[in-house]
A = this chain, B = another copy of it.
Amino acid sequence: MNPCFHFPSILTDETICRSNIRRMAQKALAHGLMFRPHFKTHQSVEVGKWFKDEGINAITVSSVTMATFFADAGWEDITIAFPLNIRELDEINQLACKIQLNVLFDMPAQALVAAGKISHLVGYFIKTDVGYHRSGVEPNDHDTIQQILRATDGTSLTFKGFLTHSGNTYQAKSINEILLIHNEATRLLYRLKMIYQDRFPGIIISTGDTPSCSIAGNFNGVDEIRPGNFVYFDLMQYHLGSCRFDEIAAAVICPVISVYPQRNQALIYGGAVHLSKESLISKKGNLIFGLVVPFINGKWGNPEGDDYLVSLSQEHGIFTTESNWSKLLKPGDIVAVIPVHSCLAADLLRNKSTLNLRK
Residue A245 is within 8 A (CB to CB) of chain B in the complex: no
Question: Which one, B40, B65, B134, B316, contacts A311 given CB within 8 A?
Answer: B134
Residue A83 is within 8 A (CB to CB) of chain B in the complex: yes
Contacts of A156 in B (CB 8 A): none
B87–A6 CB distance below 8 A: yes
B276–A331 CB distance below 8 A: no
Residue A93 is within 8 A (CB to CB) of chain B in the complex: no
Residue A182 is within 8 A (CB to CB) of chain B in the complex: no
**Interface size counted on chain A using CB atoms at 8 A:** 57
Contact with B along A66-103 (1 / 0, CB 8 A): 00000000000000001111111001000000000000
Contacts of A332 in B (CB 8 A): 86-87, 109, 113
Minimal Cβ-Cβ distance residue in B for A268: B85
Q: Say which one of A20-28, A256-264, A291-299 lies at the interface with B.
A: A256-264
A136 to chain B, nearest CB (A): 9
B134–A318 CB distance below 8 A: yes
A82–B316 CB distance below 8 A: yes
Residue A306 is within 8 A (CB to CB) of chain B in the complex: no
Instruction: Tell me the dominant secondary structure on chain A's binding face.
Output: mixed
A272–B267 CB distance below 8 A: no
Contacts of A323 in B (CB 8 A): none
Residue A46 is within 8 A (CB to CB) of chain B in the complex: no
A7–B344 CB distance below 8 A: no
B85–A6 CB distance below 8 A: yes
Contact with B along A301-316 (1 / 0, CB 8 A): 0000000000101111
Complexed CA–CA distance, A338 and B12 (Å):
34
Residue A255 is within 8 A (CB to CB) of chain B in the complex: yes
Contacts of A331 in B (CB 8 A): 86, 107, 109-110, 113
Complexed CA–CA distance, A67 and B210 (Å):
40
Contacts of A351 in B (CB 8 A): 351
B82–A259 CB distance below 8 A: no
A154 to chain B, nearest CB (A): 22
Given the known interface contacts A63-B315, A277-B277, the answer about A82 and B167 at a Cβ–Cβ threshold of 8 Å is no
Minimal Cβ-Cβ distance residue in B for A108: B331
Contacts of A133 in B (CB 8 A): 263, 265, 318
Given the known interface contacts A62-B315, A272-B278, A316-B135, the answer about A258 and B5 at a Cβ–Cβ threshold of 8 Å is no
A155 to chain B, nearest CB (A): 18
Complexed CA–CA distance, A109 and B40 (Å):
41
Minimal Cβ-Cβ distance residue in B for A65: B7
Complexed CA–CA distance, A324 and B178 (Å):
37
Complexed CA–CA distance, A263 and B136 (Å):
12
A314–B138 CB distance below 8 A: no
Interface residues of A in 1-48 (CB under 8 A from B): 1, 5-7, 40
B5–A344 CB distance below 8 A: no
**Known A135-B258, A277-B344; further 5 A-B contacts with Cβ < 8 A:** A82-B257, A85-B257, A113-B332, A133-B318, A134-B311
Which residues of A are interface residues toward B (Cβ below 8 A)?
1, 5-7, 40, 62-65, 82-88, 91, 106-107, 109-110, 113, 133-135, 138, 167, 255, 257-260, 262-263, 265, 267, 269, 272-273, 276-279, 311, 313-316, 318, 330-332, 343-344, 347-348, 351
Closest 6 CB pairs of A and B: A277-B277, A6-B87, A86-B332, A62-B315, A109-B331, A83-B257
